[in-house]
Amino acid sequence: MKSVIRLAIVDPHDVSRHSLKTLLLGIDTVWLEAECSRYDAFSDVLLQTQPDIALVALDSDQTRAIDLIANIHQNHPACHILAISGHQEGSLILQAVRNGAKEFLTSPLKLEEFLAALERIRQVVNKASGDSTGRACQVISVAGVSGGIGCTSLAINLACCFAQQPGRSVAVIDLDLALGDADVWLDIIPDYTIQDVADNINRLDYALLKRSLTKHDCGAFLLPRPVEMEDHPPIGPDELRRVISLLKATLTHLVIDLSKTFTPLDQAAMELSDVILIVTQLDLPSLRNAVRLMQYFKRRPGMYEKVKVVVNRMGLDENTISLHKALETLGREIFATIPNDYATMVEARNNGVPLITQAPKAKVTKSILQLVQALDGPPDPEEKSDEKKPAKKGGLFSFLGSGGR
Protein backbone atom coordinates (compact mmCIF):
# COMPACT_ATOMS: atom_id res chain seq x y z
CA MET A 1 0.00 0.00 0.00
CA LYS A 2 1.31 3.45 -0.90
CA SER A 3 2.13 6.10 1.66
CA VAL A 4 -0.85 8.13 0.43
CA ILE A 5 -4.13 6.21 0.73
CA ARG A 6 -7.14 6.88 -1.50
CA LEU A 7 -10.35 6.81 0.52
CA ALA A 8 -14.10 7.16 -0.16
CA ILE A 9 -16.73 7.85 2.50
CA VAL A 10 -20.49 7.31 2.65
CA ASP A 11 -22.66 9.02 5.24
CA PRO A 12 -26.23 10.22 4.55
CA HIS A 13 -26.02 12.61 7.51
CA ASP A 14 -24.67 15.94 6.21
CA VAL A 15 -23.20 17.22 9.49
CA SER A 16 -21.25 14.08 10.40
CA ARG A 17 -20.14 13.60 6.78
CA HIS A 18 -18.78 17.15 6.70
CA SER A 19 -17.00 16.54 10.00
CA LEU A 20 -15.40 13.38 8.61
CA LYS A 21 -14.39 15.17 5.43
CA THR A 22 -12.78 18.03 7.36
CA LEU A 23 -10.70 15.64 9.43
CA LEU A 24 -9.59 13.59 6.42
CA LEU A 25 -8.58 16.63 4.37
CA GLY A 26 -6.16 17.58 7.12
CA ILE A 27 -4.20 14.31 6.85
CA ASP A 28 -1.34 14.39 4.33
CA THR A 29 -1.31 10.61 3.94
CA VAL A 30 -4.97 10.43 2.90
CA TRP A 31 -6.50 11.46 -0.41
CA LEU A 32 -10.29 11.86 -0.21
CA GLU A 33 -11.26 10.28 -3.51
CA ALA A 34 -15.04 10.60 -3.14
CA GLU A 35 -17.86 11.34 -0.70
CA CYS A 36 -21.38 9.97 -1.00
CA SER A 37 -24.65 10.75 0.78
CA ARG A 38 -26.56 7.62 -0.26
CA TYR A 39 -25.95 4.02 0.69
CA ASP A 40 -27.56 2.73 -2.53
CA ALA A 41 -25.25 4.83 -4.74
CA PHE A 42 -21.99 4.02 -2.99
CA SER A 43 -21.25 0.80 -4.90
CA ASP A 44 -21.29 2.77 -8.17
CA VAL A 45 -18.96 5.34 -6.61
CA LEU A 46 -16.53 2.57 -5.65
CA LEU A 47 -16.73 1.08 -9.14
CA GLN A 48 -15.77 4.43 -10.69
CA THR A 49 -13.06 5.51 -8.23
CA GLN A 50 -11.51 2.22 -7.03
CA PRO A 51 -10.29 3.60 -3.65
CA ASP A 52 -8.04 1.73 -1.24
CA ILE A 53 -10.44 2.16 1.68
CA ALA A 54 -14.21 2.64 2.07
CA LEU A 55 -15.33 4.42 5.24
CA VAL A 56 -18.96 3.54 6.00
CA ALA A 57 -20.90 5.55 8.61
CA LEU A 58 -23.56 3.31 10.16
CA ASP A 59 -25.80 5.57 12.19
CA SER A 60 -28.22 6.91 9.55
CA ASP A 61 -29.56 3.41 8.86
CA GLN A 62 -27.68 0.57 10.54
CA THR A 63 -29.42 -2.21 8.61
CA ARG A 64 -28.72 -0.72 5.19
CA ALA A 65 -25.17 0.20 6.20
CA ILE A 66 -24.41 -3.36 7.37
CA ASP A 67 -25.83 -4.75 4.11
CA LEU A 68 -23.67 -2.28 2.19
CA ILE A 69 -20.55 -3.51 3.99
CA ALA A 70 -21.38 -7.07 2.90
CA ASN A 71 -21.90 -5.87 -0.67
CA ILE A 72 -18.56 -4.05 -0.72
CA HIS A 73 -16.78 -7.05 0.76
CA GLN A 74 -18.20 -9.32 -1.93
CA ASN A 75 -17.97 -7.09 -5.00
CA HIS A 76 -14.87 -4.99 -4.17
CA PRO A 77 -12.51 -7.41 -2.41
CA ALA A 78 -9.47 -5.15 -2.88
CA CYS A 79 -11.18 -2.33 -0.99
CA HIS A 80 -10.66 -2.33 2.79
CA ILE A 81 -13.72 -1.36 4.83
CA LEU A 82 -13.79 0.84 7.91
CA ALA A 83 -17.08 1.10 9.83
CA ILE A 84 -17.80 4.08 12.07
CA SER A 85 -20.61 4.58 14.56
CA GLY A 86 -21.52 6.45 17.71
CA HIS A 87 -23.06 3.24 19.07
CA GLN A 88 -20.79 0.62 20.59
CA GLU A 89 -23.12 -2.33 21.11
CA GLY A 90 -21.30 -5.63 20.80
CA SER A 91 -23.90 -7.01 18.39
CA LEU A 92 -23.41 -4.07 15.98
CA ILE A 93 -19.63 -4.39 16.05
CA LEU A 94 -19.90 -8.14 15.48
CA GLN A 95 -22.25 -7.69 12.51
CA ALA A 96 -19.98 -5.14 10.88
CA VAL A 97 -16.87 -7.29 11.28
CA ARG A 98 -18.61 -10.49 10.13
CA ASN A 99 -19.85 -8.69 7.01
CA GLY A 100 -16.34 -7.60 6.08
CA ALA A 101 -15.29 -4.49 8.01
CA LYS A 102 -11.59 -4.50 8.87
CA GLU A 103 -11.95 -1.95 11.68
CA PHE A 104 -14.77 -0.51 13.79
CA LEU A 105 -14.21 3.13 14.74
CA THR A 106 -15.96 5.35 17.26
CA SER A 107 -17.83 8.50 16.21
CA PRO A 108 -16.94 11.32 16.50
CA LEU A 109 -13.74 10.07 14.91
CA LYS A 110 -10.50 10.81 16.73
CA LEU A 111 -7.42 11.44 14.62
CA GLU A 112 -5.12 9.11 16.55
CA GLU A 113 -7.69 6.28 16.40
CA PHE A 114 -8.05 6.69 12.65
CA LEU A 115 -4.29 6.81 12.00
CA ALA A 116 -3.78 3.70 14.12
CA ALA A 117 -6.42 1.85 12.07
CA LEU A 118 -4.73 2.92 8.82
CA GLU A 119 -1.40 1.64 10.04
CA ARG A 120 -2.88 -1.74 11.00
CA ILE A 121 -4.41 -2.08 7.53
CA ARG A 122 -1.13 -1.03 5.92
CA GLN A 123 0.78 -3.74 7.81
CA VAL A 124 -1.73 -6.41 6.79
CA VAL A 125 -1.53 -5.38 3.12
CA ASN A 126 2.27 -5.24 3.11
CA LYS A 127 2.50 -8.66 4.76
CA ALA A 128 0.06 -10.18 2.27
CA SER A 129 1.95 -8.75 -0.69
CA GLY A 130 5.34 -9.76 0.71
CA ASP A 131 6.42 -6.12 0.87
CA SER A 132 8.27 -5.59 4.12
CA THR A 133 9.47 -2.13 3.16
CA GLY A 134 6.23 -0.40 2.19
CA ARG A 135 8.14 1.82 -0.23
CA ALA A 136 6.65 5.33 -0.20
CA CYS A 137 6.71 7.87 -3.00
CA GLN A 138 9.86 10.00 -2.90
CA VAL A 139 9.31 13.66 -3.83
CA ILE A 140 12.43 15.39 -5.17
CA SER A 141 12.56 19.13 -5.88
CA VAL A 142 15.34 20.39 -8.13
CA ALA A 143 16.35 24.02 -7.57
CA GLY A 144 19.10 26.02 -9.23
CA VAL A 145 21.22 28.78 -7.75
CA SER A 146 20.75 30.77 -10.98
CA GLY A 147 19.25 30.51 -14.44
CA GLY A 148 20.99 28.27 -16.95
CA ILE A 149 22.60 26.16 -14.25
CA GLY A 150 21.18 22.91 -15.63
CA CYS A 151 18.20 22.21 -13.37
CA THR A 152 15.78 21.13 -16.07
CA SER A 153 18.31 18.86 -17.75
CA LEU A 154 19.03 17.21 -14.40
CA ALA A 155 15.35 16.91 -13.42
CA ILE A 156 14.32 15.36 -16.74
CA ASN A 157 17.22 12.94 -16.98
CA LEU A 158 16.91 12.01 -13.31
CA ALA A 159 13.25 11.11 -13.86
CA CYS A 160 13.99 9.15 -17.04
CA CYS A 161 16.71 7.15 -15.26
CA PHE A 162 14.32 6.40 -12.39
CA ALA A 163 11.68 5.26 -14.90
CA GLN A 164 14.09 2.71 -16.40
CA GLN A 165 14.46 0.84 -13.12
CA PRO A 166 12.18 -2.14 -12.41
CA GLY A 167 9.19 -1.36 -10.25
CA ARG A 168 9.59 2.42 -10.46
CA SER A 169 6.98 4.87 -11.74
CA VAL A 170 7.87 8.55 -11.99
CA ALA A 171 6.46 11.89 -13.09
CA VAL A 172 7.94 15.36 -13.58
CA ILE A 173 6.13 18.60 -12.75
CA ASP A 174 7.43 21.72 -14.50
CA LEU A 175 6.88 24.60 -12.07
CA ASP A 176 8.63 27.22 -14.19
CA LEU A 177 5.23 28.46 -15.32
CA ALA A 178 6.58 31.25 -17.50
CA LEU A 179 9.59 29.85 -19.33
CA GLY A 180 9.77 26.16 -18.46
CA ASP A 181 11.00 23.84 -21.21
CA ALA A 182 10.72 20.33 -19.78
CA ASP A 183 8.51 19.37 -22.74
CA VAL A 184 11.29 20.38 -25.16
CA TRP A 185 13.77 18.06 -23.47
CA LEU A 186 11.39 15.16 -24.11
CA ASP A 187 10.14 16.33 -27.52
CA ILE A 188 6.58 16.24 -26.23
CA ILE A 189 3.63 18.28 -27.47
CA PRO A 190 1.25 17.75 -24.55
CA ASP A 191 -2.51 17.60 -24.84
CA TYR A 192 -2.89 18.90 -21.29
CA THR A 193 -0.83 21.12 -18.97
CA ILE A 194 -0.87 22.23 -15.36
CA GLN A 195 -3.33 24.91 -16.53
CA ASP A 196 -5.93 22.23 -17.30
CA VAL A 197 -5.41 20.70 -13.87
CA ALA A 198 -5.91 24.12 -12.26
CA ASP A 199 -9.08 24.77 -14.27
CA ASN A 200 -10.57 21.51 -12.99
CA ILE A 201 -9.14 21.54 -9.47
CA ASN A 202 -12.56 21.40 -7.77
CA ARG A 203 -13.37 18.07 -9.41
CA LEU A 204 -9.84 16.72 -9.57
CA ASP A 205 -9.50 13.01 -8.98
CA TYR A 206 -6.97 10.35 -9.90
CA ALA A 207 -8.55 9.56 -13.28
CA LEU A 208 -8.62 13.22 -14.37
CA LEU A 209 -5.07 13.86 -13.21
CA LYS A 210 -3.81 10.73 -14.98
CA ARG A 211 -5.34 11.96 -18.24
CA SER A 212 -3.50 15.26 -17.77
CA LEU A 213 -0.10 13.55 -17.72
CA THR A 214 1.84 12.89 -20.92
CA LYS A 215 3.92 9.72 -21.00
CA HIS A 216 7.32 9.56 -22.70
CA ASP A 217 8.61 6.39 -24.35
CA CYS A 218 11.12 5.93 -21.51
CA GLY A 219 8.23 5.50 -19.08
CA ALA A 220 8.34 8.88 -17.31
CA PHE A 221 5.24 11.08 -17.14
CA LEU A 222 5.22 14.87 -17.51
CA LEU A 223 2.89 17.59 -16.25
CA PRO A 224 4.18 20.62 -18.21
CA ARG A 225 3.82 24.37 -17.70
CA PRO A 226 0.93 26.25 -19.39
CA VAL A 227 1.11 26.93 -23.11
CA GLU A 228 0.21 30.60 -22.70
CA MET A 229 1.93 33.01 -20.34
CA GLU A 230 -0.48 34.28 -17.71
CA ASP A 231 -0.60 37.46 -15.65
CA HIS A 232 -1.06 35.37 -12.52
CA PRO A 233 -0.16 31.77 -11.60
CA PRO A 234 -2.76 29.30 -12.92
CA ILE A 235 -2.42 27.16 -9.81
CA GLY A 236 -1.94 28.12 -6.17
CA PRO A 237 -0.02 26.43 -3.35
CA ASP A 238 -3.08 24.67 -1.92
CA GLU A 239 -4.06 23.30 -5.32
CA LEU A 240 -0.49 22.14 -5.92
CA ARG A 241 -0.54 20.30 -2.61
CA ARG A 242 -3.64 18.41 -3.79
CA VAL A 243 -1.94 17.49 -7.07
CA ILE A 244 1.21 16.27 -5.32
CA SER A 245 -0.80 14.26 -2.77
CA LEU A 246 -2.71 12.47 -5.51
CA LEU A 247 0.41 11.73 -7.56
CA LYS A 248 2.12 10.36 -4.44
CA ALA A 249 -0.67 7.82 -4.15
CA THR A 250 0.23 6.20 -7.47
CA LEU A 251 3.95 6.84 -8.07
CA THR A 252 7.26 5.77 -6.54
CA HIS A 253 9.04 9.03 -7.49
CA LEU A 254 7.94 12.59 -8.23
CA VAL A 255 10.50 15.07 -9.58
CA ILE A 256 9.63 18.79 -9.43
CA ASP A 257 11.55 21.27 -11.58
CA LEU A 258 11.27 24.52 -9.62
CA SER A 259 11.38 28.04 -10.99
CA LYS A 260 14.30 30.35 -10.21
CA THR A 261 12.26 32.87 -8.22
CA PHE A 262 11.26 30.70 -5.22
CA THR A 263 7.60 31.68 -5.38
CA PRO A 264 5.00 30.51 -2.84
CA LEU A 265 4.34 27.68 -5.31
CA ASP A 266 8.00 26.61 -5.17
CA GLN A 267 7.98 26.87 -1.38
CA ALA A 268 4.91 24.63 -1.15
CA ALA A 269 6.63 22.05 -3.36
CA MET A 270 9.76 22.12 -1.21
CA GLU A 271 7.74 21.74 1.98
CA LEU A 272 6.21 18.54 0.57
CA SER A 273 9.52 17.23 -0.77
CA ASP A 274 11.64 14.54 0.82
CA VAL A 275 14.77 15.85 -0.92
CA ILE A 276 15.71 19.30 -2.26
CA LEU A 277 18.55 19.12 -4.77
CA ILE A 278 20.40 22.44 -4.98
CA VAL A 279 22.23 22.59 -8.30
CA THR A 280 25.33 24.79 -8.49
CA GLN A 281 28.58 25.20 -10.41
CA LEU A 282 32.05 25.86 -9.06
CA ASP A 283 32.17 29.56 -9.87
CA LEU A 284 31.94 32.53 -7.53
CA PRO A 285 28.43 33.81 -8.47
CA SER A 286 26.94 30.31 -8.21
CA LEU A 287 28.53 29.51 -4.84
CA ARG A 288 27.58 32.92 -3.52
CA ASN A 289 23.93 32.26 -4.38
CA ALA A 290 24.21 28.76 -2.95
CA VAL A 291 25.29 30.21 0.40
CA ARG A 292 22.34 32.63 0.31
CA LEU A 293 20.01 29.72 -0.34
CA MET A 294 21.46 27.75 2.57
CA GLN A 295 20.75 30.69 4.85
CA TYR A 296 17.23 30.86 3.44
CA PHE A 297 16.61 27.18 4.16
CA LYS A 298 17.99 27.44 7.69
CA ARG A 299 15.28 29.99 8.52
CA ARG A 300 12.55 27.57 7.47
CA PRO A 301 11.92 24.65 9.85
CA GLY A 302 12.53 21.25 8.35
CA MET A 303 13.91 22.44 5.01
CA TYR A 304 17.65 22.62 5.61
CA GLU A 305 17.80 18.93 6.52
CA LYS A 306 16.33 18.00 3.12
CA VAL A 307 18.95 19.87 1.08
CA LYS A 308 21.54 17.97 -0.96
CA VAL A 309 24.07 19.89 -3.06
CA VAL A 310 24.77 18.78 -6.62
CA VAL A 311 27.68 20.31 -8.53
CA ASN A 312 26.86 20.42 -12.24
CA ARG A 313 29.29 20.74 -15.17
CA MET A 314 32.24 19.60 -13.12
CA GLY A 315 35.46 20.38 -15.01
CA LEU A 316 33.90 23.11 -17.15
CA ASP A 317 36.78 25.55 -16.62
CA GLU A 318 40.29 25.11 -15.31
CA ASN A 319 39.92 28.36 -13.36
CA THR A 320 36.88 27.21 -11.39
CA ILE A 321 36.95 27.08 -7.61
CA SER A 322 38.18 23.77 -6.20
CA LEU A 323 35.77 21.25 -4.74
CA HIS A 324 37.58 21.51 -1.39
CA LYS A 325 37.10 25.28 -1.35
CA ALA A 326 33.43 24.87 -2.27
CA LEU A 327 32.98 22.51 0.70
CA GLU A 328 34.42 25.15 3.02
CA THR A 329 32.25 27.87 1.49
CA LEU A 330 28.99 25.93 1.64
CA GLY A 331 29.62 24.34 5.02
CA ARG A 332 28.21 20.99 3.98
CA GLU A 333 29.02 17.96 1.85
CA ILE A 334 28.66 17.78 -1.90
CA PHE A 335 26.10 15.02 -2.48
CA ALA A 336 26.89 14.43 -6.16
CA THR A 337 28.88 15.81 -9.08
CA ILE A 338 27.82 15.80 -12.73
CA PRO A 339 30.70 16.09 -15.24
CA ASN A 340 30.67 18.69 -17.99
CA ASP A 341 29.70 17.15 -21.32
CA TYR A 342 28.23 20.00 -23.31
CA ALA A 343 28.18 18.23 -26.68
CA THR A 344 26.34 15.16 -25.42
CA MET A 345 23.84 17.20 -23.40
CA VAL A 346 23.04 19.60 -26.26
CA GLU A 347 22.62 16.74 -28.71
CA ALA A 348 20.19 15.01 -26.34
CA ARG A 349 18.21 18.23 -25.84
CA ASN A 350 18.05 19.07 -29.54
CA ASN A 351 16.87 15.54 -30.34
CA GLY A 352 14.37 15.56 -27.51
CA VAL A 353 15.81 12.25 -26.26
CA PRO A 354 16.89 11.59 -22.65
CA LEU A 355 20.52 10.70 -21.97
CA ILE A 356 19.63 7.17 -20.90
CA THR A 357 18.52 6.59 -24.50
CA GLN A 358 20.76 9.01 -26.40
CA ALA A 359 24.06 8.22 -24.69
CA PRO A 360 23.71 5.44 -22.09
CA LYS A 361 27.48 4.91 -21.81
CA ALA A 362 28.47 8.56 -21.47
CA LYS A 363 30.08 9.68 -18.21
CA VAL A 364 27.36 12.26 -17.64
CA THR A 365 24.67 9.56 -17.94
CA LYS A 366 26.50 7.25 -15.55
CA SER A 367 26.85 10.07 -13.01
CA ILE A 368 23.08 10.65 -13.09
CA LEU A 369 22.48 6.91 -12.66
CA GLN A 370 24.73 6.99 -9.62
CA LEU A 371 22.70 9.91 -8.29
CA VAL A 372 19.54 7.86 -8.82
CA GLN A 373 21.01 5.01 -6.78
CA ALA A 374 22.12 7.37 -4.03
CA LEU A 375 18.62 8.86 -3.78
CA ASP A 376 16.73 5.60 -4.18
CA GLY A 377 18.53 3.79 -1.40
CA PRO A 378 19.15 0.04 -1.25
CA PRO A 379 17.13 -2.18 -3.60
CA ASP A 380 14.08 -4.09 -2.42
CA PRO A 381 14.89 -7.61 -1.16
CA GLU A 382 13.25 -9.26 -4.19
CA GLU A 383 15.19 -7.06 -6.62
CA LYS A 384 18.42 -7.77 -4.77
CA SER A 385 17.85 -11.51 -4.84
CA ASP A 386 17.02 -11.36 -8.55
CA GLU A 387 20.37 -9.71 -9.25
CA LYS A 388 22.14 -12.72 -7.74
CA LYS A 389 20.55 -15.18 -10.15
CA PRO A 390 22.80 -16.39 -13.02
CA ALA A 391 20.36 -15.08 -15.64
CA LYS A 392 20.74 -11.59 -14.23
CA LYS A 393 24.51 -11.33 -14.50
CA GLY A 394 25.77 -7.90 -15.45
CA GLY A 395 27.49 -4.81 -14.20
CA LEU A 396 26.19 -1.78 -12.39
CA PHE A 397 24.22 -0.58 -15.41
CA SER A 398 22.98 -3.97 -16.63
CA PHE A 399 19.37 -2.85 -16.23
CA LEU A 400 19.68 -0.29 -19.05
CA GLY A 401 18.10 -2.59 -21.56
CA SER A 402 14.95 -3.16 -19.50
CA GLY A 403 11.96 -0.90 -19.46
CA GLY A 404 10.26 0.53 -16.40
CA ARG A 405 6.91 -0.77 -15.34
| pLDDT tens by residue, 310-365 | 999 998 877 778 888 988 889 889 999 999 999 999 999 999 999 999 999 999 99
Q: Check if the beta carbon of residue 24 is closer than 8 Å to that of residue 108.
A: no
CA distance 57 to 55: 7
Query: pTM of the predicted model, to two decimals?
Result: 0.70
pLDDT of the residue at 128: 62
Neighbours of 78 (CB within 10 A): 8
| Summary count for the chain: helices (H), strands (E) | 17, 13
Give the lowest-confidence range in 175-179, 305-309, 368-372: 175-179
Work out the end-to-end distance of the chain between its first and last CA atoms, rounded to an integer number of angstroms: 17
Q: Using a pLDDT cut of 70, give the percent of the chain over it.
A: 87
Q: Which CATH superfamily, name and number, covers 5-129?
A: Response regulator (3.40.50.2300)
384 pLDDT higher than 60? no
Band (381; pLDDT cuts 50, 70, 90): very low
CA distance 158 to 106: 45
The domain spans of the chain are 5-129, 139-401
pLDDT of the residue at 130: 55
Closest CA to 63 of 74, 75, 71: 71
65 pLDDT higher than 70? yes
CA distance 290 to 311: 11
CA distance 335 to 115: 35
Give the lowest-confidence range in 34-38, 117-121, 274-278: 117-121
Q: Crossing angle for the helix pair 42-49 and 62-75, nearest 10 degrees?
A: 30
Residue 57 parent element (H or E): strand 53-57
Same fold flag, 5-129 and 139-401: yes
pLDDT of the residue at 28: 64
Band (74; pLDDT cuts 50, 70, 90): very high
Pairing of strands 307-314, 334-339: parallel
CA distance 31 to 273: 17
Q: Check if the beta carbon of residue 193 is closer than 8 Å to that of residue 235.
A: no
Strand partners, 336: 310
pLDDT of the residue at 237: 92
Q: Is 112 left (phi over 0), alpha (psi -120 to 50) or beta?
A: alpha
Of 228 and 391, the one with more pLDDT: 228
CATH number 3.40.50.300 given to 139-401: yes
pLDDT of the residue at 23: 84
Instruction: Kindly list the distances between the CA atom of residue 93 and the CA atoms of 102, 108, 215, 352, in Å, as whole numbers in the listed order.
Output: 11, 16, 46, 59
pLDDT of the residue at 402: 36
pLDDT tens figures, 267-320 = 999 999 999 999 999 999 999 999 999 999 999 999 999 999 999 999 887 777
Band (227; pLDDT cuts 50, 70, 90): confident
